[in-house]
Structure 1
Amino acid sequence: MFFLLQNREFLRLRNIAVAVMAMGVIVSCSSLWKERVDDQPLARVGDVYLYKKDISPLLGKGISKEDSTSLVVNYINNWASKQLLLAKAKINLPEEKLAEFNALVSDYRTDLYTRAYAEALVGQGSDSVVTEAQLQSFYEQEKENFKLKEKLVKLRFIELPVQFMDKGTVIEKMKRFDDEDVSYLDSIGVQFKKLNFNDSIWIGMSRVLEEIPPLTLENEDRYLKKSQFFELEDSLGVYLGKIIDVREVNDIAPLSFIEPTIQQVLLSRRKLNYMRRLETEIIDEATRENEFEVYTYDEEN
């Protein structure tokens, strides 16, 4: 019965809201958004009003009259339904549940304000530079926590079209890879489907398998060995690779591979320590200024 009454009242008030729009917006939509009083109400549910200034940001330049009318009507209907449901909830929910929700809302508002302010202070007062020495020191101390969960490789790699004419020359220069070879391969790179000449970075096995479809978990041990050159082919292309180095699962991750992670950990710890100091300083200052005190009472009283 409650929901039946709620639906009837909702429909009645929604129709009122639409009627307000019909009189105040649809008839003169183009004039509504001209320079007028910002606190002009567009709709009301109980003692709560929706004002023109609440909707103005939704209507950007270039929006058509039809689109703006539809947007405003939809916004008012959504706003009205929320206000009606909120009003019904306040009437029909138990007092203890309302008190619980009010406490949650209050805590959330406090958290939003304090977190934003604290993060601003941390951003101004916390050092955001992590040196190489700090990275290296943390890495040496925590090495055992950085064991690899997947194989890593360093490799140079080229994917050729299946009908590429001078594959032998490319293979020769990929294997030798001196300055002249690199210059030559760069000069014809537009003929390759894919290439990676940066063989100083570590690449995860999942990415390698993604880029080289003929490589699989079943055959990777055969091809991905240190100093090995491989040539694979499928219907899509010819895949040439030279393996520079390999790290196996459960090996200690190279510093260069996990450096971004270490940097983030160090910065997070630094911010946390700064926040703790900040909280202590705020309380100490408030105590000195007699703005904060804790009352104690005898248990007998």
Structure 2
Amino acid sequence: MKYWWILMITIFCGCEFFQPKENNPEQPIAKVLDNFLYPSDLEGLFPANISEADSSQLAAKYIEDWIKKQLMISRSQQAIDFNEAEIERKVLDYRYALMVHAYEKKYIEKNLNREVSQADIQAYYDTKADNFLLRQNIIKCLYVQVPKSTPNINQFRRNFRAYPDGNTDDLRSYVTQFATKSFLEDTTWIIFDELILGTPLEDLQNNNQFLQRTSYSETSDDDYIYFLKIFDYKISDEISPLEFIRDDIETILINKRKIALKKELEEQIYEEAKTNGLFKVFNH
């Protein structure tokens, strides 16, 4: 039976819960005081491809939540002397806000240019760089973690320390075969604290001093050896490099375009209405 949960609610709640409203031919599912919940109220709420058991479970949860909500509303009305007109005004305001938001979203999706040039990003960075202070230390580096039992570790160590000179193909091949964790994008900024998480370097007393004094580090614990070669670093509270925040600036510029389109739509509708005489301000 598709709606076996209706029968269950009938059994547990009693027949009086199923007295329908005079103007509704449906059999109600639940009732709280003078408020009824009908099967049509649940239509379209649940995915069409779920099982009958899952559908029944979701329906039962919805009904329980509906009952609790109606009880809370009833108790609130008893406890507080609400200004019904004010409540209705807020409900209308919210309804209209949802409608306007949906229309603005549709307009923006249709008209938004998401292409952001490098020149736009650079120009914004040049004028707003002071707003982009680093919150954490970042570095450009090579990082490799290998088990202590890994073969030919001395040859790898020589290649690692010699990088970018030396045999880089051998180094990358070795990392592919034996490393349990690595970062070889030596031109990409990475957050230092995230990189060293779970390594002996996590216990550093002064990260800033370490970065200022260190270009090569090799540490170990019972299981692994951790190789780190630092090519560049930036300390927290310094201005962030453009490469590190490029995506953030692109998002900011796109959001500014969205705001401009929203304003454009508002002005366009206003001017059209003004031209067509759709509104009038009365002076008293």
Please classify the TM superposition score into its range, dividing by the shorter chain length.
0.7 to 0.9
Provide the secondary structure at the position in 2 that maps to 1:154.
strand
% identity of equivalent residues = 26
Deviation by residue 1:247-274 (Cα, 9 ceiling, x = unmatched): 2233321111011111111112121122
Superposed displacement of residue 220, structure 1:
3.5
**Per the alignment, do residues 90 and 290 of structure 1 end up closer, same or farther by CA in structure 2, a change over 3 Å counting?**
farther
Provide the secondary structure at the position in 1 that maps to 2:52.
coil
- Out of 11, 14, 21, which is 1:19 matched to? 14
What TM-score, normalized to structure 1?
Answer: 0.75
Size of the alignment, in residue pairs? 269
> Is 1:154 aligned to 2:149, yes or no?
no
Provide the secondary structure at the position in 2 that maps to 1:224.
helix
Which residue number corresponds to residue 235 of structure 1? Answer: 222
**Residue type of the alignment partner of 2:90:** L
**Per the alignment, do residues 58 and 273 of structure 1 end up closer, same or farther by CA in structure 2, a change over 3 Å counting?**
closer
Cα RMSD of the aligned pairs, angstroms, is: 3.4
Which residue number corresponds to residue 256 of structure 1? Answer: 243
Superposed displacement of residue 230, structure 1:
1.3
**Residue type of the alignment partner of 1:62:** S
- Any conservation in 2 of the 1:128–1:267 contact (CA below 8 Å)? yes
Superposed displacement of residue 113, structure 1:
1.4
Which residue number corresponds to residue 204 of structure 1? Answer: 191
Superposed displacement of residue 137, structure 1:
0.9
Alignment of 1:1-301 (within 5 A): 18-20=13-15, 39-45=26-32, 48-55=35-42, 57-58=45-46, 61-64=50-53, 72-87=59-74, 89-90=76-77, 93-96=80-83, 98-177=84-163, 181-188=167-174, 189-210=176-197, 212-221=199-208, 223-225=210-212, 228-297=215-284
Q: Aligned partners of 2:71, 2:239: CA distance in 1, in Å? A: 60
Q: Aligned partners of 2:269, 2:17: CA distance in 1, in Å? A: 55
Deviation by residue 1:139-158 (Cα, 9 ceiling, x = unmatched): 11122222323322100110
Which runs of 5 or more structure 1 residues have no equivalent in the other structure?
Answer: 1-13, 24-37
Q: Aligned partners of 2:12, 2:203: CA distance in 1, in Å? A: 63
- Any conservation in 2 of the 1:17–1:44 contact (CA below 8 Å)? no
Provide the secondary structure at the position in 1 that maps to 2:201.
coil
- Any conservation in 2 of the 1:157–1:240 contact (CA below 8 Å)? yes
Superposed displacement of residue 194, structure 1:
0.8
Q: Aligned partners of 1:148, 1:184: CA distance in 2, in Å? A: 35
